């Protein structure tokens, strides 16, 4: 299973780098398993965080290159501690022991082989769902390897317009790739199911972050998701938390938060299409969403 690292094609970049020799791929990952934080997290959707928190494991590196990334320290700067697969498995159990509602794998794509091995080590002792929390830039082939290991897919659908995905996330193929990935997630996990406390046990949540000046593309994303919803049900989470952490000199439209009008129009459009789901207060753009990547729990 780890052979794939000799010519890595785990994500749609398919950069083919020999990570096993210590070289870094586009995503920043090499032969090490880097984790920046493992802790209870309370700012996911209510059916993920609940009152006890989600057992988040933040992995370092990312196959996307979003200019507005809120986890920049780990996605692009490589903050993280190298750990063994056994240690990752132990972290899963520690989070479960601390009462986590689930194990929430954040930016996991580049470590799928490591994660599968770690889950194999603990599957008999892990009774909480495993959440795969991704920007949506995924290869269907890689997702298929995770069938039976992941209970809840938590995926972004960022763009429908390839020009915007190229400009903002360095991935022109993002729209076709992400919507195909979501179709595979829906095939694997289908209609959402909840436990007696309203916590999600199985299913798919699709997140869409509303961007400043991006209303038209948000509508197009929702149109495509509405098509997908005809085949399988899922939960939609419309996010208002966009915060310009760094000044963007090239795409200056990204240098502001979204307006109440923009967010309301996108929510109204989602409702017209028949979506029910989660909406955020626009005032929710707080720094707590971005925890300290200080190696807590690693
Ligand atoms: S996961 Fe990283 S190393 Fe592998 S193909 Fe993608 S960018 Fe390249």
pLDDT tens profile 180-239: 999 999 999 989 999 999 999 999 999 999 999 999 999 999 999 999 999 899 999 999
Query: Given this model, what pLDDT does residue 245 score?
Result: 82
Q: Is 17 in the pocket of ligand 1 (CB under 6 A)?
A: yes
Report the C-alpha gap between 291 and 4 in whole angstroms.
32
pTM: 0.95
Neighbours of 21 (CB within 10 A): 10
Phi-psi region of 148 (alpha: psi -120 to 50; beta: other; left: phi over 0): left
The number of the ligand 1 atom at minimal distance from the alpha carbon of 24 is: 3
pLDDT digits (tens, 9 = 90+) for 224-274: 999 999 989 999 999 999 989 889 999 999 999 999 999 999 999 999 999
| Domain range annotation of the chain | 34-289
Query: Given this model, what pLDDT does residue 283 score?
Result: 53
What's the CATH number of domain 34-289, 3.40.50.2300, 3.30.1130.10, 3.20.20.70, 3.90.650.10? 3.20.20.70
Q: Is 5 in the pocket of ligand 1 (CB under 6 A)?
A: no
- What is the residue whose two structure tokens read 């694997």? 188
Report the C-alpha gap between 291 and 298 in whole angstroms.
14
Of 2, 3, 11, which is best to mutate to test ligand 1, by the most ligand atoms within 8 angstroms of its C-beta?
A: 11
Report the pLDDT averaged over residues 45-58: 96
Query: Given this model, what pLDDT does residue 281 score?
Result: 58
Report the C-alpha gap between 174 and 221 in whole angstroms.
12
Q: Is 133 in the pocket of ligand 1 (CB under 6 A)?
A: no
Rounded distance from Cα 21 to ligand 1 centre (Å): 14
């Amino acid at each position: 299973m780890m052979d794939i690292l000799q010519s890595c094609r785990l994500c749609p970049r398919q950069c083919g780098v020999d990570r096993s020799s210590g070289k870094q791929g586009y995503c920043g990952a090499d032969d090490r398993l880097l984790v920046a934080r493992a802790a209870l997290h309370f700012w996911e959707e209510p059916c993920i965080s609940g009152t006890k928190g989600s057992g988040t494991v933040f992995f370092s590196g990312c196959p996307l290159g979003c200019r507005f990334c809120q986890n920049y320290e780990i996605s692009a700067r490589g903050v993280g501690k190298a750990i063994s697969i056994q240690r990752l498995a132990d972290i899963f159990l520690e989070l479960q022991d601390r009462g986590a509602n689930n194990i929430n794998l954040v930016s996991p794509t580049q470590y799928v082989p490591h994660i599968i091995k770690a889950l194999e080590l603990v599957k008999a002792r892990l009774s909480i769902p495993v959440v795969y929390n991704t920007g949506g830039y995924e290869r269907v082939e890689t997702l298929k390897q995770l069938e039976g290991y992941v209970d809840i897919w938590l995926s972004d659908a960022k763009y429908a317009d390839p020009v915007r995905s190229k400009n903002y996330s360095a991935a022109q193929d993002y729209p076709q790739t992400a919507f195909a990935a979501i179709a595979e997630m829906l095939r694997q996990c289908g209609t959402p199911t909840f436990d007696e406390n309203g916590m999600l046990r199985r299913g798919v949540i699709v997140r869409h972050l509303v961007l400043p000046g991006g209303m038209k593309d948000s509508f197009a994303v929702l149109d495509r998701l509405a098509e997908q919803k005809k085949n399988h049900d899922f939960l939609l989470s419309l996010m208002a938390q966009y915060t310009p952490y760094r000044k963007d000199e090239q795409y200056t439209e990204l240098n502001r938060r979204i307006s109440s009008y923009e967010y309301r129009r996108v929510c109204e459009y989602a409702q017209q299409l028949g979506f029910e789901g989660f909406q955020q207060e626009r005032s929710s753009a707080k720094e707590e969403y971005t925890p300290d990547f200080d190696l807590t729990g690693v």
